[in-house]
Amino acid sequence: MESIYKYIEEHASRPSEALDWVVKQTHIRTNHARMLSGAAQGQLMRMIARMADARRILELGTFTGYSAICLGSALPADGHLDTLELNDELEDLILEGFEKSGLADRISLHIGDCKETLKRLAEEGKVYDLVYIDANKREYCEYYELVFDMIRPGGLILADNVLWDGKVCMDPLPQDKQTLGIARFNDMVSADPRVESVILPIRDGLNLIRKK
């Protein structure tokens, strides 16, 4: 699979200089570079956002800003992305990347607890065309319920890591909280009559969900 994914990345559109900078700085300044979305997945999300004509995007889990830049680059000039991150130690790196990408005026970074920020955005009446979920795996179900009414009919949810290194397919299912959280989320989505969905086996799994 690694050789296949390497081939896929080599034949996807080349990442921007800003994305290359984010990758390099993530390796230098953090210990969790494996959390990066990757070139092929980033390009896929960018294309999905563009094909959906998304003008308002919400991201849960910024990390160092790679996926935010991918999604933000698909926005029209009057579009906007709200991205939520818990770890304030990453703020400087994230904002530097946004500046280098030329998207700083289209992206708002919200530092703090994800669920509390979502409640505030809902109270402000925010409505989104696309939501990308890549935060605490234990809380995916809660995020789903919190964002659902903030998505317009026909809007999209992208949820990352839904295959969780294949653990969701194991029998018996591992009982750690992250695996259980992802498994519950996948079951919830597949049983939800309000949406249609498909899991794409790219990297660690991407659940593409459309609100009816």
Residue spans of the domains in the chain: they are 2-211
- List all residues 6 or more positions away from 141 whose beta carbon is below 8 Å from its beta carbon: 181, 184, 185, 188
Average pLDDT over residues 128-141: 98
Q: What is the DSSP letter of 14?
A: P
Q: Check: CB of residue 37 under 8 Å from CB of residue 70.
A: yes
Residue 173 gets which letter from DSSP? Answer: P
Report pLDDT for 204.
93
pLDDT of residue 132: 98
Query: What's the CATH code, domain 2-211?
Result: 3.40.50.150
pLDDT at 33 over 90: no
Each residue's pLDDT tens digit, 157-196: 999 999 999 999 999 999 999 999 999 999 999 999 999 9
> Are the C-beta atoms of residues 178 and 138 closer than 8 Å to each other?
yes
Report d(CA 102, CA 17) in Å as an integer.
11
C-alpha torsion sign, points 61, 174, 164, 141: negative
Question: Rounded mean pLDDT of 150-154?
Answer: 98
Q: For the residues of 125-165, what is the DSSP string, one character each?
A: T--EEEEEE-S-GGGHHHHHHHHHTTEEEEEEEEEE-SSGG
| pLDDT above 90 (res 15) | yes
What pLDDT sits at residue 201? Answer: 93
Q: Which of 104, 109, 57 has the alpha carbon at shortest distance from 85?
A: 109
Q: What is the mean pLDDT of the chain?
A: 96
